[in-house]
A and B are shown apart, each in its own frame.
Chain A
Amino acid sequence: MRKAVVLLPMVLALVLSCSRDGKAAASAGAEGPYPLSIMVMTISGEPMGDDSPVKKYIEEYTNTSLDIIWVPNTTYEDKMNITFASGDLPTIMVAPKKTSSVINAARNGAFWDITDYLKDYPNLSKANPQVLNNISIDGRVYGVYRARELGRNGISFRRDWLDRVGLDTPETIDDFYQMLRAFTYGDPDGNGKDDTYGMTVTKWTGPWDVMKMWFGAPNEWGEDSTGNLVADFETREYMDALKFFRKLYKEGLVNEDFAMMESSKWQEPYLSGKAGVVVDVADFSTTLQGEFETKLGFEEIVWDVVGSVEGDKGLHNLPFAGGYNGMLVITKNGAKTEEDMKKALAFLDKMNDYEMQIAMMYGLEGVHYTFDENGFYDVSTDKAVKAQYDSAAQMGMGIQGDFRYDPDQPIDRDELVLKRNAVYKSNLDIVVGDPCASFTSDTYAKKGAQLDKIIEDARVQFVVGLIDEAGFNDAVKQWRSQGGDDIKGEYNALYKQYK
Chain B
Amino acid sequence: MSENDYCGHFPIGVSMATMSTAIETIDPMDLKTESGKRRIARMKKEKSLYILMIPGILYFVIFKYLPMWGLTIAFQNFQPILGFLKSEWVGMENFRDFFSSPDFFMIFRNTLVLSLLNIIFYFPMPIVLALLLNEVRQAAFKRAIQTIVYIPHFISIVVVASLTYVLFTTAGGAVNILMERLTGETINFLGSPRWFRPLIIGQTIWKETGYGTIIFLAALAGVDQNLYEAAAIDGAGRFKQLIHITLPSIANVIVILLILRMGQVLDNGFEQIFLMTNALNRNVAEVFNTYVYTVGITQGAFSYSTAVGLFKSVIGVILVLGTNGIAKKFGHSGLY
Task: Using CB atoms and an 8 Å cutoff, list the residues of chain A in contact with chain B.
Answer: 1-8, 10-11, 13-14, 17, 77-78, 81-82, 84-87, 99-101, 104-105, 108-110, 203, 255-257, 259-260, 446-447, 449-450, 453, 456-457, 459-461, 464, 466, 478, 482
Contacts and interface: CB of A to CB of B under 8 A. Distances in A.
Given A6-B302, A450-B299, A257 B171 contact: yes
Nearest to A101: B300
Interface string B296-323: 1111111001100110110000000000
Interface in B66-111: 66-67, 69-71, 73, 78-84, 101-103
A257 B301 CA distance: 32
Interface of B: 1, 5, 8, 66-67, 69-71, 73, 78-84, 101-103, 165, 169-171, 188, 190-193, 267, 270, 278-280, 282-283, 289, 292-302, 305-306, 309-310, 312-313
A105 B81 contact: yes
The 4 tightest CB contacts between A and B, nearest first, are A101-B300, A3-B309, A460-B279, A84-B80
B300 A99 contact: yes
A87 B83 contact: yes
Contacts of A10: 70, 73, 78, 80, 84, 302
B73 A257 contact: no
B309 A81 contact: no
Contacts of A8: 67, 70
Contacts of B280: 259-260, 457, 460-461, 464, 466
B81 A6 contact: no
Nearest to B87: A108
A390 to B, nearest CB: 25
9 contacts: A2-B5, A2-B289, A2-B309, A6-B297, A6-B306, A260-B169, A260-B280, A447-B301, A450-B103
A372 B42 CA distance: 88
A78 B297 contact: yes
B199 to A, nearest CB: 12
A99 B101 CA distance: 21
A422 to B, nearest CB: 35
A482 B101 contact: yes
A73 to B, nearest CB: 14
Contacts of B102: 478, 482
A176 to B, nearest CB: 23
A11 B81 contact: no
A143 to B, nearest CB: 15
Contacts of B1: 1-2, 5
Nearest to B299: A449
A447 B305 CA distance: 12
B53 to A, nearest CB: 22
A450 B295 contact: yes
Given A3-B312, A99-B299, A105-B81, A260 B73 contact: no
B299 A101 contact: yes
Contact of A5 (B283, B293, B313): B293
Contacts of B84: 10, 13-14
A77 B298 contact: yes
Contacts of B294: 449-450
Given A87-B80, A255-B171, A464-B280, A7 B306 contact: yes
Contacts of B78: 10
Contact of A108 (B82, B270, B295, B299): B82
B172 to A, nearest CB: 10
B185 to A, nearest CB: 13
Given A6-B297, A457-B282, A460-B280, A260 B165 contact: yes
Contacts of B289: 2
Contacts of B191: 257, 259-260, 464
Contacts of B190: 257, 260
